[in-house]
Amino acid sequence: MLDVCLLGTGGMMPLPQRHLTACMIRAEGASLLIDCGEGTQVALRLQGWSFKSIGTILFTHMHGDHVAGLPGLLLTIGNAGRTEPVMIYGPKGTARVVRGLMMAAPELPFSVEIQETGETEYKAGALYVRTFRVDHNVPCLGYRVELKRLPEFQPDRAREQGIPLRAWNPLQKGNTVVIDGVTYTPDMVLGEARKGLSVCYCTDTRPTSSIIEGAKDADLFICEGMYGEEEKKSRAREYKHMTFREAAILAKAAGAKELWLTHFSPSLMRPQEVLGEAREVFPNSYAGRERMTKTLRYDDETAES
Ligand SMILES: [Zn+2]
Ligand SMILES: [Zn+2]
């Protein structure tokens, strides 16, 4: 199970009723935040999710509407009692900007590690993160975040093969075990591969083939839609953003299950009214709303499990 919250839907500047675009993902007690513009901590406070559990912060790029909320957020995470390290990832140039911002948040009760990446993969708590380059006017990354699922454990096979009971749990978690000189491997007791859960997050970019790859079969694709009407396409091109329709074309090409549009221009006050632009191409499109939330579950997982 994985929870996603779109903390805000604004691009460029926060507005009285619209926080800047940021996204929080929770799984197995740990949280990951993508982007942190001015006021993101206010949106998170309204959502009521924990500050203390934020162990990873991913930045798409270093424009102010995505980073300026960092010092305040770090101080609030500290006030919430976190002492474990916080990892910060972003594209080239992240370390310099983050270190500068952190001068306004000295003496945190936890350590902060900053890593600049290109296209890569890493683990953040229970979540797997894959990064890919997108096309903005500064280095910018898109993110695919996955909660992988191990294949089903088959106790009958373990019993048949006489595998000692104490090896079952590590094997179930995908680890190889050696007991009394005998090696037991997970494939001896695990069944077919099972589909995990995936969220793709892209903002501040023109459409790219890397986005289609990153959002492939995603359960949820959160994508910028700076401009609603297709007439604004030349503006979108000029400022390296997208229209609703362009985002929907990506969602369709990727085979994503659901599209949430976000990062609206301050001039786009009622994104809902132009949603048809996206739905004509990709029917399962939604205009992002403040603190829009969704819980993703495995195919056979129920709300109670
Ligand atoms: Zn932006
Ligand atoms: Zn930008």
**23 CA from centroid of ligand 1 (Å):** 13
What the chain holds in terms of domains, given with CATH numbers, is 2-151+192-296 (3.60.15.10)
Query: Residue 72: which region, alpha, beta or left (left: phi > 0; alpha: psi -120 to 50)?
Result: alpha
From residue 57, how far is each of 26, 147, 224 by CA, in Å? 12, 17, 19
The predicted model gives 135-147 an average pLDDT of: 98
Half-sphere exposure of residue 264: CA atoms within 13 angstroms, side-chain side: 27
**298 CA from centroid of ligand 2 (Å):** 34
- Closest residue by Cα to residue 139 from 119, 113, 120: 119
- Closest listed ligand to the CA of 8: 1
The predicted model gives 257-286 an average pLDDT of: 97
- Tell me: the pLDDT tens digits for 7-66? 999 999 999 999 999 999 999 999 999 999 999 999 999 999 999 999 999 999 999 999
135 is catalytic: no
* Start-to-end CA span in the chain (Å): 9
Active-site residue, from 3, 35, 65, 156? 65
C-beta separation of 242 from 221 below 8 A:
no
Tell me the pLDDT band of 305, cut-offs 50, 70 and 90: low
User: Which residues, by Cβ under 5 Å, contact ligand 1, an ion?
Assistant: 11, 65, 204
- Closest listed ligand to the CA of 262: 1
DSSP assigned state of 279: H
C-beta separation of 200 from 221 below 8 A:
yes
From residue 202, how far is each of 225, 262, 302 by CA, in Å? 10, 10, 29
Q: Which amino acid is at 297?
A: R
pLDDT value at residue 200 = 98
For residue 135, what is the enclosing H or E element?
none
C-beta separation of 259 from 244 below 8 A:
no
For residue 111, is pLDDT > 60? yes
The predicted model gives 68-83 an average pLDDT of: 98
- Tell me: the pLDDT tens digits for 182-210? 999 999 999 988 999 999 999 999 999 99
Lowest mean pLDDT among 10-14, 110-114, 149-153, 224-228: 149-153
Look at residue 95 and give its three-state secondary structure.
helix
Mean pLDDT of the chain: 96
**109 CA from centroid of ligand 2 (Å):** 31
- Tell me: the pLDDT tens digits for 208-266? 999 999 999 999 999 999 999 999 999 999 999 999 999 999 999 999 999 999 999 99
Tell me the pLDDT band of 303, cut-offs 50, 70 and 90: confident
What is the token pair recorded at 298?
A: 């495995």
pLDDT value at residue 304 = 63
Beta bridge partners of 228: none
pLDDT value at residue 105 = 96
For residue 299, is pLDDT > 90? no
- Tell me: the pLDDT tens digits for 52-66? 999 999 999 999 999
Tell me the pLDDT band of 120, cut-offs 50, 70 and 90: very high
- In percent, the amount of the chain with pLDDT more than 70 equals 99
